[in-house]
Structure 1
């Protein structure tokens, strides 16, 4: 089962990578710091979501398997696309630091909401709010059944809430059309997933 999941994940990531390579033609405008920062940081942000979904899906008793599988598939494709862009741009796959200051380089000066988010990023381990700690991930691994489902929802709600402002920013401020399109799609998908998870968490 684990081998099948790993094989499927690799295929999805490879498909996303191929899409990323095709989405940026050689004569495309050079990416901005926003394009690069978004691709690097959201790729890392997605990596943790994949870890959490893999932990959840290892428990066959989970009632959230359908939701987790859908989230995993979408994010693996997006990781592949972002990796493809970064390699085309000849940029590192991961940022050199945890600084989110690339979000200061938008079309307009930061408003109050963005300023609060950047302060939260500076005060958060890992550079952005909502990331699960090592201890939280280990606890997720040790729980089973409804307890694991409940903690997964709590962690993933925080995770999405922490990453959503980044996607909203890139959807408006990225220079590359493919990056703006992906970021806008993430906003829609993750807003819907947040609503779904909020309902499930109240049950």
Structure 2
């Protein structure tokens, strides 16, 4: 399902991502621009948001197969398409920069906000669902699956918006900053939509104890 890194890099380049350059001087005599450091906000955001996006895609594929409700399926398809595309771009950037797609650093450490979130049961960052919650979603169908998906995805988007805004505030890469800004706008809009969808189903935001 996922693009090879080279293809992701090509797509990212076509969308305006600067080409990988190394330190030194070009043939024309102009200085080249250093790639982001391995512990930079640029690298940290790309890695962490790619992981965050992967779970949003996973959640959306699950609910797609658990309900025939068209509004829910449409939302799920939109999230799958948008976040898979964005994930490919971020993996492409890391590939261009010659950086690994994984890091031993604590998730969100690049934000330098003193996050004390403790990863547990597959939930690596704020907003991410646990493995138990994923299993529960797989066990539901119809309205129950729709409601639980929306509740999980609202929390997921809240975490995603916080992370994206955190990068916007630190960004030194214009292309990556634009992508993060677009995430803030789009996911904030989807938060409103999902809250309305829950209301239509007689439910409210907030993930119940599993």
**TM-score class normalised by the smaller sequence:** 0.7 to 0.9
Structure 2 matches for 1:158-197, cutoff 5 A? 158-197=155-194
Answer with 1 or 2: which has the greater Rg. Answer: 2
Equivalent in the alignment of 2:35: 30
Look up the SS of the partner of 2:172 in the other structure. coil
CA distance in 2, matches of 1:21, 1:87: 11
Structure 2 residue aligned with 1:20, among 12, 32, 35? Answer: 12
Q: Report the CA distance between 1:163 and its aligned residue.
A: 1.7
Distance 1:181 1:29 in 2: 20
Q: 1:137 to 1:155 in 2, by over 3 A?
A: same
Task: Classify the secondary structure of the residue corresponding to 1:173.
Answer: coil
Question: Partner residue of 1:43?
Answer: 50
Is 2:67–2:146's contact at 8 Å kept on the other side of the alignment?
A: no
Structure 1 residues 62 and 15: CA distance shift in structure 2, 3 A: farther
Aligned residue in 2 for 1:107: none
* 1:29 Cα offset (Å): 4.4
Q: Distance in 1 between matches of 2:65 and 2:6?
A: 22
**When the two structures are superposed, what TM-score results if normalisation uses the length of structure 2?**
0.78
* Structure possessing the higher relative contact order (Cα contacts under 8 Å, 6 or more residues apart): 1
Unaligned runs of 5+ in 2: 22-32, 201-210
Write out the 4+ residue segments of structure 1 that deviate beyond 6 Å after TM superposition. Answer: none
Distance 1:137 1:94 in 2: 23
Distance in 1 between residues matched to 2:152 and 2:6, nearest whole Å? 27
Unaligned runs of 5+ in 1: 1-8, 105-113
**Could you give the per-residue CA deviations for residues 95-143 of structure 1, whole angstroms, max 9, x where no partner exists?**
2243422111xxxxxxxxx55xx23x3x343442111111110111111
Q: For the aligned residues, what is the CA RMSD?
A: 2.2
CA distance 1:185–1:152, shift in 2 (3 Å): same
The structure with the greater share of residues assigned to helix is 1
TM-score for both structures, normalised by structure 1:
0.81
Aligned length: 182
The separation in 1 between residues aligned to 2:162 and 2:69, in whole angstroms, is: 29
